[in-house]
């Protein structure tokens, strides 16, 4: 419990510092936000005991839409500890304890799926950010899972981004699949029964889950980056969604079978 309390206090302090540094950079349009977020996520992952390993390489140096499965709030910390990215999140995330602070401090595209005009605005924002050369992470399942399976990808999400890109005058964009898997706790392999310990899904309360996550000791997560593909005006969004879903399923299955991964950052 003491470790959890210290980690929570450190989380709040680091997030406050993140606000104080990122807001002036954002206000004055200065570079460096990606590097600051990277350092922040690596510090938080070390503090929480989140040990990150990576397979493959994320696309760098050009705009990319990262299409991923979704398991836990920790996904965001793990991804941003490896590469500067912007997330697409539902509007409710901004109100979550602790995690909402991080989402607000970082560049995040919030989507209110109950209001169509705001969804269209969010899609336009995504297109604009891609046109500016950003990397955007889209959780294509539309929700989080228990960590044992990859849920069906929602092709409508890709279609909305595709339409918004067309309106923004962007001919094509690079899309890269990403599989997120939680593989070990306290150094021991996770089985099907234990994998939901790292997952946050359904109606689970965030604060108790976060406390339990920290108390259980180091948790290993693997990020598996797939081969990038191109999305353009001729791309069939349903076929692309199925292709990306299958690749993410394959990479996730390989990781859950405990295939060797390349260490990137250990907390």
What's the structural domain count of the chain?
1
First to last CA, the chain: 19
Half-sphere exposure of residue 97: CA atoms within 13 angstroms, side-chain side: 9
Q: pTM, whole model, 2 decimals? A: 0.83
Mean pLDDT over 220-247 rounds to 90
What sign has the CA pseudo-torsion 244, 245, 250, 253?
positive
What 3-state class would DSSP assign to 265? Answer: strand
Confirm if 148 and 191 have CB atoms less than 8 A apart.
Answer: no
Question: Is the pLDDT score of 219 beyond 60?
Answer: yes
List the one residue out of 204, 222, 223 whose CA is nearest residue 213.
204
What is the CATH number for 50?
Answer: 3.40.1130
Q: What is the spatial distance between Cα 39 and Cα 21, in angstroms, rounded to a whole number?
A: 12
pLDDT tens for each residue of 48-61? 889 999 999 999 88
Q: What is the spatial distance between Cα 234 and Cα 231, in angstroms, rounded to a whole number?
A: 8
Question: Is the pLDDT score of 28 beyond 90?
Answer: no
The dihedral region occupied by 32, where left means phi > 0, alpha psi between -120 and 50, and beta the remainder, is left
Query: How many CB atoms lie under 10 A from the CB of residue 17?
Result: 14
pLDDT tens for each residue of 76-85? 889 999 988 8
Question: Which of residues 3 and 20 earns the better pLDDT score?
Answer: 20
Average pLDDT taken over every residue of the chain: 79
pLDDT tens for each residue of 172-210? 789 999 999 999 888 888 877 777 777 776 566 666 777
Domain that holds residue 184: 2-265
């Amino acid at each position: 419990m003491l470790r959890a309390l210290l980690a929570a206090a450190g989380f709040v302090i680091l997030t406050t510092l993140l606000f104080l540094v990122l807001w002036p950079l954002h206000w004055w349009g200065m570079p460096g936000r990606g590097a600051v977020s990277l350092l922040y996520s690596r510090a938080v992952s070390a503090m929480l005991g989140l040990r990150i390993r990576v397979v493959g390489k994320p696309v760098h140096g050009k705009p990319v839409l990262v299409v991923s499965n979704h398991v836990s709030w920790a996904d965001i910390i793990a991804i941003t500890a490896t590469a500067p990215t912007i997330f697409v999140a539902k509007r409710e995330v901004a109100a979550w304890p602790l995690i909402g602070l991080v989402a607000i401090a970082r560049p995040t595209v919030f989507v209110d799926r109950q209001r169509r005009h705001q969804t269209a605005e969010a899609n336009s924002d995504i297109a604009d950010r891609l046109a500016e050369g950003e990397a955007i992470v889209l959780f294509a399942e539309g929700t989080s899972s228990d960590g044992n399976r990859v849920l069906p990808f929602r092709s409508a999400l890709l279609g909305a981004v595709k339409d918004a890109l067309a309106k923004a005058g962007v001919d094509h964009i690079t899309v890269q699949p990403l599989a997120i898997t939680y593989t070990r706790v306290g150094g021991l392999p996770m089985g099907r029964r234990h994998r939901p310990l790292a997952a946050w899904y359904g109606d689970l309360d965030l604060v108790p889950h976060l406390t339990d996550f920290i108390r259980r000791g180091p948790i290993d997560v693997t990020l598996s980056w797939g081969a990038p593909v191109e999305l353009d005006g001729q791309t069939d969004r349903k076929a692309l969604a199925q292709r990306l879903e299958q690749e993410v399923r394959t990479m996730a299955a390989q990781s859950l079978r405990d295939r060797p991964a390349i260490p990137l950052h250990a907390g």
